[in-house]
Structure 1
Amino acid sequence: MKKTRFEFNELPYRTLEKFGLTQDMIEDLPMRVLDELCDGRHSPVLPVRVSDENGEVIESRTRFAFYRLDNGQVEVLFYPALKSSPLERYDKAQQTQLLDGKAIIADAETADGRHTKAFVQIDRETKQVMSVPTPIIGRNLQVLAEELHLGQTEVNGIQHGEPMTIVVDNDPVTVGIDLHARTGIRFCAGDERKWHEQSKREWDKYTFGVYGCWVMDDEGNLDYVPEEEYTEELWNEQKKNAERNRAAGLHK
């Protein structure tokens, strides 16, 4: 499987629709999310529904990502939300670090069955265990260390899952390993507490698209409401959103 750039017109909408994710729902995701999907990165955690062998509808939540087969066809992989993380292969100390949200370096198996060292971290939203080979993020850490003049002790701390707060232009900036970030390393203006708070992707309560609206509840779950099912509250929010966008355009 090769990760490459994907175009909108080749995405496997028919497969996604079997899981309750229509083309309208996908196209109404924020443009930054669509760009990430087309780069082969994971989606936000979205609702899915399928029918079992008895015809019962089962609802769940999952991330997904696209990949390209050797014949050029684009397929989709799902990363469903789990009740608990599968951590049996890690020792007690590693499990404690992972459950604290930290990245660790551990043995991992590649897609072709080879064993290698990898950065490992739990996706807090799905409880899936993510891993990235150490040379990839190690190289990025090396560039970071040179840019910010970090010593080996500081780099070692970041490698072992400890976010590091430094001062840049008199302001605190925290950097740490986050396997959801494009480079595997995430920056945040502020201290370590801010860094952890920022770890959830930023969504407004209402994200309006062309065909409907993605609504985030108080627990951070996203659900989609098509325009024909808008409540009075949603129509009012759409009007406010349009007015804000119009005002922002006038002040450019």
Structure 2
Amino acid sequence: MKKVLFELNELPYPTLERFGLTQEMVEDLPMHVLNDICNGCPSPVLPVRVTDENGEQIESRTRFAIVRMDNGQTDVVFYPALKSSPIEKYDEAQQKRLLARKAIIADVEMPDGRMSKAFVQVDEGTKQVMYVPTPIIGRNLQVLAEELHLGPAEINGMQHGDPMTLVVDNAPITVGIDLNARTGIRFCAGNEQQWREQTKREWGKYTFGCYGCWVMDDDGNLDYVHEDDYTEELWNEQKKSGERNRAAAVHK
């Protein structure tokens, strides 16, 4: 049975709403995204809005993740989008790999102040630097190696951030380290280029929910439009989406 860390009704909606993310907006995210959030994974990069000390509204973009506090209540941690990645402490070769969206292994200061080896990667959506201690990803790589019969050279390539393409049942499958993924390892049906574009392809231009629609612009940014604010274009797209869904249901 799949373990769920959080139930949907446990999400800290009042806190999220203070940052412009209403319960309707969150619940209109695709079901696979909601499942990931309930399993502790970061959300997609979403628009947020806060009011500063001068009463001015500031708009930004961020991922968020749900955490369990010591008292059992849930809270939210934000990972705001940065203008540039703070990677100055890494050497030139490491910076080059990080900016190429590849994972590296480096010494990282842990929350308790100790230095430890970790997989490090830049989140493309926020430019935040992510890290996970090497034993965690290393264990998952070991399981993967046993299941797919991978050799040391192949695992070593993945540890250095290079996605690997295999042929399974006469079809290409690419696997690589992605610290935003639930296990730190992400699979994709297709080649390396498709693996790198996979997260963008999961969203269409219009994603309709019960209360409104998430719209993706040409730069991959998501914005929410409530049903009350639909344009004629959105009403037409919703009608087309409904027709496609009905046709798909008929052909199942």
User: TM-score, normalising length from structure 1?
Assistant: 0.94
Deviation at 1:199, TM superposition (A): 4.3
Q: Give the match for residue 11 of structure 1.
A: 11
Deviation at 1:200, TM superposition (A): 3.1
- 1:102-113 equivalent positions in 2, closer than 5 A: 102-113=102-113
Deviation at 1:251, TM superposition (A): 1.5
Of stretches 193-202 and 65-74 in structure 1, the one that deviates more from structure 2 is: 193-202
Task: Answer yes or no: is the 8 Å Cα contact 2:41–2:181 preserved in 1.
Answer: no
| Residue 131 (str. 1) matches residue 122 (str. 2) | no
Deviation at 1:160, TM superposition (A): 0.7
| Residue 194 (str. 1) matches residue 225 (str. 2) | no
Q: Over residues 203-240 of structure 1, what are the superposed CA-to-partner deviations in whole Å (9 max), with x where a residue is unaligned?
A: 01111111111111111100000010000111111111
Residue 105 of structure 1 aligns to a residue whose secondary structure is strand
Deviation at 1:201, TM superposition (A): 5.8
| Residue 181 (str. 1) matches residue 196 (str. 2) | no
Find the aligned partners of 1:218 and 1:164 in 2 and give their Cα distance. Answer: 29
- Report the count of equivalent residues: 249
Structure 2: which amino acid aligns with 1:182?
R
Of stretches 77-86 and 32-41 in structure 1, the one that deviates more from structure 2 is: 32-41
Structure 2: which amino acid aligns with 1:184?
G
Find the aligned partners of 2:199 and 2:211 in 1 and give their Cα distance. Answer: 29
Q: Give the match for residue 122 of structure 1.
A: 122
Residue 162 of structure 2 aligns to a residue whose secondary structure is coil
| Residue 242 (str. 1) matches residue 242 (str. 2) | yes
Q: Over residues 112-171 of structure 1, what are the superposed CA-to-partner deviations in whole Å (9 max), with x where a residue is unaligned?
A: 333221111000110001111111111111111122221111111110111122222333
Q: Give the match for residue 64 of structure 1.
A: 64
Q: Unaligned regions of 5+ residues in structure 2, if any?
A: none
Find the aligned partners of 1:191 and 1:207 in 2 and give their Cα distance. Answer: 26
Q: Give the match for residue 28 of structure 1.
A: 28
Find the aligned partners of 1:201 and 1:57 in 2 and give their Cα distance. Answer: 32
Give me the CA root mean square deviation: 1.4
Find the aligned partners of 2:217 and 2:151 in 1 and give their Cα distance. Answer: 43
Q: Give the match for residue 159 of structure 1.
A: 159
Find the aligned partners of 2:170 and 2:108 in 1 and give their Cα distance. Answer: 40
Task: Answer yes or no: is the 8 Å Cα contact 2:119–2:133 preserved in 1.
Answer: yes
Q: Give the match for residue 225 of structure 1.
A: 225
Find the aligned partners of 2:154 and 2:8 in 1 and give their Cα distance. Answer: 42
Find the aligned partners of 2:63 and 2:77 in 1 and give their Cα distance. Answer: 9
Find the aligned partners of 1:199 and 1:91 in 2 and give their Cα distance. Answer: 28
Task: Answer yes or no: is the 8 Å Cα contact 2:11–2:74 preserved in 1.
Answer: yes
Task: Answer yes or no: is the 8 Å Cα contact 2:216–2:223 preserved in 1.
Answer: yes
User: TM-score, normalising length from structure 2?
Assistant: 0.94
Q: Give the match for residue 91 of structure 1.
A: 91
Find the aligned partners of 1:221 and 1:45 in 2 and give their Cα distance. Answer: 8
Q: Give the match for residue 41 of structure 1.
A: 41
| Residue 171 (str. 1) matches residue 175 (str. 2) | no
Residue 140 of structure 2 aligns to a residue whose secondary structure is helix
Of stretches 64-73 and 184-193 in structure 1, the one that deviates more from structure 2 is: 184-193
Instruction: Note closer, same or farther for the CA distance 1:201–1:76 as it changes in structure 2 (3 Å cut).
Output: farther
Find the aligned partners of 1:58 and 1:144 in 2 and give their Cα distance. Answer: 44
Find the aligned partners of 2:165 and 2:34 in 1 and give their Cα distance. Answer: 31
